[in-house]
Structure 1
Amino acid sequence: MPDLQGILILFFVGAIAAFINVNAGGGSSLTLPVLIFLGLDPSVANGTNRVAILFQNASAVYAFKKEKFYELKNSLILSALTLPGAIIGAVTAVSISDELFEKILGVIMIFIIITMILPKKKTEKTKSDFTIDWKIVAAMIVIGFYGAFLQVGVGFLLMASFQYLMKLDLIRVNMHKVFVVFVFTLPALLVFILTDNINWFYGVTLSAGNAFGGWWGAKLSVKKGEKLIKFVLIIAILIMALKLLNVY
């Protein structure tokens, strides 16, 4: 059991990570090292982090709903598409150590920053324009696998898919993202529970911070709009890309 200092660190890191996750992604790159630093082995840290991720996205979904951003049917459709991949990824549930994959992912993160900075014609769709094609189906299956398998950076992949394949505005992107992550976290969390890879005290402590950060991030996402989301997203992607490319 951590001391008071450890509890406070977990809470505040959880809040910051959740704020980043809701508006962008990569927050788990903060929480996982902290959990390992506090003495958990990587597999238990991975499982413990999923408890906080679940609470983070539940609170974010609630906050978006309170702000009148809620499309249950559409979010459920997208979530259902991730489940086949999520089930396979959750059963696999091991660390990715392929250095080449990490470098490729780092390059992709930089590419996403460039495409967001470049001016583009606004193509926001209305609710009636919500359509699913084979590209988004394939993307959701792959993202479901990766999200349940490792989690770190899955928010970036969901945002890229929703923004560039479905042409959604960033507020609706985040609205769907937090719902989808909540759903595919369930089978992943179940696997970690069944294999006894969760430290519940750490998980509950981190969850308190994540729940607050998720609620806070969703509220600001709606109130401040796309400018805030783009700012947080660019900073988060840049930090994670540099880490994946072993710059620091």
Structure 2
Amino acid sequence: MGRLDGKVALITGAAQGMGESHATVFVEEGAKVIITDINKEGGQALADRLGENAVFIEHDVTDLKSWENAVKKAVETFGDITVLVNNAGVLGPIAKTEDLTEEDYMKVCAINQNSAFFGMKSVLPSMVKAGGGSIVNISSIAGIVANYGFPSLAYVASKSAVRGMSKATAVEYGDKNIRVNSVHPGFIQTQMMADATDESGGDALKDIPLGRIADPIEVSKAVLYLASDDSSYVTGTEQIVDAGMTAH
């Protein structure tokens, strides 16, 4: 029996990187998965590979109308949504606060922060109707601690907001049997990390107690736990997946 049998999950930013890994694991564990992304080609290719229990919907997470459309199509396809993984995100510029432009700040917050709000707002009615659900908001260790100038105040602000919104929604919707938790990855082997540092994580290795970069599947296993009934008494928490980076 799969750990997500009977679940309907919507995963944003799922055409590549961690989102692709989450979607793959979810289908393997029995969920019906709605893959959303602005990357139409990549998203459709993944849905085709995963088979009949996955569909792709082109989706701009920064636009509330796009969210409403994605949720409507998802419900029409698989029924009420019982799992939401707000995974879509962007690193943004590497810049000190005085050098950070208003445009860059607002763009990072729109993708990382506003999308989590829009996602929860759009999916909650479906979860309430279904009798409960699990929301997993992907934050970052930057939502726990700040790194000087890297990547920027915008990233830290947006990922910290995701952590706070998760707690607030967990308290607000606990009586509806809806759990909300945030996941805080450290350095993960994705294109986003490689673009910011290099394939090996650059200078970050010296700050990682386990001494290595994670495979995306190592984050997906934490997301799977929070999405499944194994975590039925877990809400309003932070799941840190960082090989000990925030421990010192």
TM-score (norm: length of structure 1): 0.30
Higher helix share: 1
RCO higher in structure (CA 8 A, sep ≥6): 1
TM-score (norm: length of structure 2): 0.30
Higher strand share: 2
